[in-house]
Amino acid sequence: MREYLKFYIDGKWVEPTELKTLDVENPATEQVVGQIALGNATDVDKAVKAARKAFATWSQTSREERLEVLGRILAEYQKRFGDLATAVTEEMGAPSSLAQRAQVPIGMGHLATAAEILKTFKFEDDRGPTMIVKEPIGVCAFITPWNWPLNQIVCKVAPAIATGCTMVLKPSEVAPFSGYIFAEIMHAAGVPAGVFNLVNGDGPTVGAAMASHPDVDMVSFTGSTRAGIEVAKAAAPTVKRVAQELGGKSPNIVLDDDAFAKGVGRGVAAMMPNSGQSCNAPSRMLVPSKRMDEAITVAREAASQVTVGDPNGNSQLGPVVNKTQFDKIQKLIQKGIDEGATLVIGGVGRPEGLDKGYYVKPTVFANVTNDMTIAREEIFGPVLSILGYETLDQAIDIGNDTEYGLAAYVQAGDLEKARKVASRLRAGQVSINGGGGDLTAPFGGYKMSGNGREWGDYAFHEFLETKAVLGYAPKQAAE
């Protein structure tokens, strides 16, 4: 049983101002495996004050000093690799293979990428008599989700450290173990007191207090669009910067060519990892209507190969994160059946042989229309909807017919045609034929999928203010 009942504030582990605890459940066993303390506005205020105090000196550190700190964080992170992987599996059900292959390594990737970018990042732009300067924005509040916990923590913390900001982190209360270990890593790495602070808690209490705090200069939030709207409302009176990475309902357009079957199979394979709990999952597959039957055959076969079970075993999919998510997914699967979509494989209920744990059957629907609930709402589970199109123009129109715009996908044998389709899709990131894995590529969305960009050098700009210093150099007299 894990007990994480303290917060990390000003370089020390401190007691909450009022002890209120929350049980943390292992979604594979439905058993309580830990307990955290829930903070309040007073705890947030203490953390923000520590961050504000630290900003005075941390913001003035040199590039070399910050590179050294990033290097120490990465070294300590690597030492705790196994602990982090175990925590992620326990708190949110990621298979141990996924935790070790992706969930934990991506945090290392963000740290290394930030360090590499920092080496040559241009903080000053000499324009003759005027100097344009990029300066750290100040105290940042980070509110992160449970589905890729370390990815979302580190892709915020690393560029914030690199640019000279200080911060307060609220990891998800649903999956808080890895965030707590990350705070231990920051302490072991000797990050100066107050630069990094952690307060556990829920969104309506701690998240709202962070977003509304007058001494917080910037909020970076990852989560649902509904919660993101509340964060923006809370931040509005203090006119602070708000960066958001929110929901998605990403289209995956499979073109009518010789690569069709491969594209359909690739789309199923991309939808299922992490039990479909990825905001950029390709959840709407668009195929030529005349090839719908072929798509059904390929998708059924691909989905039937996906194994579900104990995340500590050899299964490809573990459970979804909790009962709330499980129940939501079950209702949406039933909604798809009720609204007339063709159930290709999967459906309601747990997979056969699993009577405990929040396991969901890998599910594929075909003959879905874009007005159906399963084509409009973000399901956040291993559920794929296949829609038909008559022309490529119609496919693009359907793909863009969503309130979201986080990601999009194109599968094609003709690369040039795929590029043209990609240019017309309204999304922050478009993947062609399975392309991905670039940690320097900006990540973020159009429309209700958010604003701002994370990852790589684009992330640095989110944490910087722009100052123009006029008269920096005297104008040269005319010859």
What stretches in the chain show pLDDT beneath 50? none
If you search the block for the tokens 């159009």, which residue do you land on? 446
pLDDT of amino acid 475 = 76
pLDDT of amino acid 477 = 54
pLDDT of amino acid 474 = 84
Looking at the whole model, is its pTM more than 0.75?
A: yes
Annotated catalytic sites, by residue?
245, 279
CA atoms lying within 13 Å on the CB side of residue 404:
28
Tell me: the pLDDT tens digits for 378-415? 999 999 999 999 999 999 999 999 999 999 999 999 99
Region label for 287, one of left (φ > 0), alpha (ψ between -120 and 50) or beta (otherwise): beta
Mode of pairing for the β-strands spanning 450-451 and 241-245: antiparallel
Tell me: the pLDDT tens digits for 349-381? 999 999 999 999 999 999 999 999 999 999 999
Q: Which two tokens mark 153?
A: 């923590």
